[in-house]
Structure 1
Amino acid sequence: MKPTRDLDELCYSFIYETSWLCDYEVATDELCGHVGMACVALARDMPDLAADLDWLQPLVFHLNGSVRGKMAVTEADIDQLKACLQRYRVEVAGAVKGFVLPRGEPPISNLHLGRSAAKKAIRALVRVEQEGREIPSIVVRFCNVICNVLFAITLVINHRRQVTEMPFESLSYTIKRPKTVYGNDAPIHE
């Protein structure tokens, strides 16, 4: 496939590229949209979480261009995001007893879909590296922290709304649950 010369028929400059780099950029674009929807949905009832997402959303777009273009995320950004994660973990300590089903009132679904988009971005980066392009570790680390932060925010929202998380017990895997930062035997990640 090749783009036509008609710019109205071209949604993204690199959309016909065969490298996984374009898939990474599409996944981070999706992630940015989910973060934005969650930010707007939380603005009235949980302004502290909305403010964190408001800060995070442009960083997701900076992350988007940090492989093909100039590095636009920093160690300070990761440190600040990890500080948010620690705050959330303290707030929900003891609230999770294992894996949970991804459900809840809006914007819970956007946050869970955002987690999936972050995972897609990481998987695309694995492929980009296999193609021979060096991936700065900060990009992969930041994607992982974003995924964990979005999950933690779902727990905080449900906790504040007094929504009981729906446990999920896998029939496919036996899981040994280490003691975690959530203050019980829950997994560190979902």
Structure 2
Amino acid sequence: MALSKSPDIRELCYPFIFESKPTCDYEIMTDELCCQVGMVLAHLGDAWPSLREDLLHLQTLIYHLNGSVRGKNGIFDSDIDWLKYRYDCYQQAVSGRVSGFVLPQGPMPVPALHLCRCQAKKVVRMLVRLDEAGIKVPPTLPRFANLLANFFFVLTVVVKSDLNVQEVPYVSINYPAPRPS
């Protein structure tokens, strides 16, 4: 028996919740990412005003990302350029601080930013699934979502640097260590 909508609107959390296409899953993932950014903002308080401003802007862009598969594309090259610029600013501020894999740990909001990073990667993977399912994915979406994951990582490094918290390197036993050049 297929599940169906209740006639009682109070029993329907999202208009597309019962569809079988992966579009709804994508929209829920991007909604979760936007909520996680809200959690980071709650942990920031009045600290890091430029980071706060960037995250507030990103919440709007993430909801544009959300509606860009079912509706019209809302992520443009100018949004990617803005995010690249902000990424480069933060990356320059912590240049040389991280040279490999690090453990995702630290005081708040660092773990919340790492969860945003992971969720952004899930969004990228869902975009791959949408494309595989024959659903049109504007090319700006995976570019933006990939950059978003990297942006959240650099923010973890910035916050830890500002708090004078050391990164804890992760050394894999699964893959060979890169050879010095």
User: Do the two structures share a fold, i.e. TM-score over 0.5?
Assistant: yes
Coordinate RMSD, CA, aligned: 1.7
Q: Percent identity?
A: 45
After TM superposition, list the pairs within 5 Å mapping 1:14-163 onto structure 2. Answer: 14-163=16-165
Amino acid in the other structure paired with 2:114: H
* Greater shift in the superposed pair: 8-17 or 56-65: 8-17
What number of residue pairs does the alignment pair up?
A: 179
Distance (Å, rounded) in 1 between the aligned partners of 2:19 and 2:146: 25
CA change 1:141–1:40 in 2 (3 A) is same
Distance (Å, rounded) in 1 between the aligned partners of 2:180 and 2:4: 50
What do residues 126-167 of structure 1 show as CA deviations (whole Å, max 9, x unaligned)? 111111112111011110111110000000000010000111
Shift of 1:175: 5.0
Distance (Å, rounded) in 2 between the aligned partners of 1:81 and 1:102: 22
Amino acid in the other structure paired with 2:164: Q
Shift of 1:43: 3.9
The runs of 5 or more residues in structure 1 that have no matched partner are 180-190
Amino acid in the other structure paired with 2:16: F
Partner residue, 2:175: 173
TM-score by length of structure 2 reads 0.93
The runs of 5 or more residues in structure 2 that have no matched partner are none
